[in-house]
Amino acid sequence: MPSFIDMQNRIANDLRRDDLATEIAEAIQSAILFYRNLPVVQSPGTMAAITAVEEQKEYTLPPDFIAAIQLTVTADGVITPMQPATIQWIDEMDSDSTDVIIGVPTHYALFGEFEMHVYPRPDDSVTEFGGRYIAATAAPSDDDDSNFWTNRAERAVRCRAVGLLYDDTLHDPELAEREYAKAQQEWSQITLQLELRAYSAGIRAHD
């Protein structure tokens, strides 16, 4: 099956440039990041345990995190679901730095792309956070990596990456727009096919 290095080599050959290895790899990653934030089908994932730290309210989420399904807290060996809240509510409830409220967190708020704030701050009975979430397919990192991005979505990713190279490196906006259009057309086809498959399984696909 096509791999990350296969995609890099094809782009280099199509452009007839063997001096843009770094730029090509970065353009592919940027193209995947663009599509990663528009998951065509939601994939449930189980979160690896995030170690709780007493009185710490900020925690880093997995890099493939898209959205929460149900996040949990473990205290004294008991797993309890937490309720979602706004970051404004968390900040308001946790605003008194001289009288910090600690306990078993009952609420969480998502902040930025990969950060979670909890309230109240954990006490010494809290050991970890976990749960289930919507995960994105990871981008390839090693040359021989092969997955959705280098197979089913290969043409969409490749065309967008070429568009980025024409835009940012080769400075040819007309050719860049042509590649972006090809990428969008291919992505629309991927979305349509996966949406038909997803409907049969009761899952809603996104474009």
pLDDT tens digits along 159-190: 999 999 999 999 999 999 999 999 999 999 88
Residue 201: its pLDDT value, please?
43
Q: Is the pLDDT of residue 197 over 60?
A: no
Residue 192: its pLDDT value, please?
82
Cα distances (angstroms) measured from residue 72 to each of 32, 34, 115, 147: 30, 29, 15, 30
Give the global pTM: 0.65
Residue 42: its pLDDT value, please?
54
Pairing outcome for strands 121-122 and 102-103: parallel
* Residue burial 35-50, b: 16+ Cβ < 10 Å; e: rest: bbeebbbbeebebeeb
Q: Which residue has the tokens 């706004």?
A: 86
Residue 205: its pLDDT value, please?
44
CA dihedral 130, 136, 139, 141 (to 10 degrees): 10
Q: What percent of the chain has pLDDT over 90?
A: 69
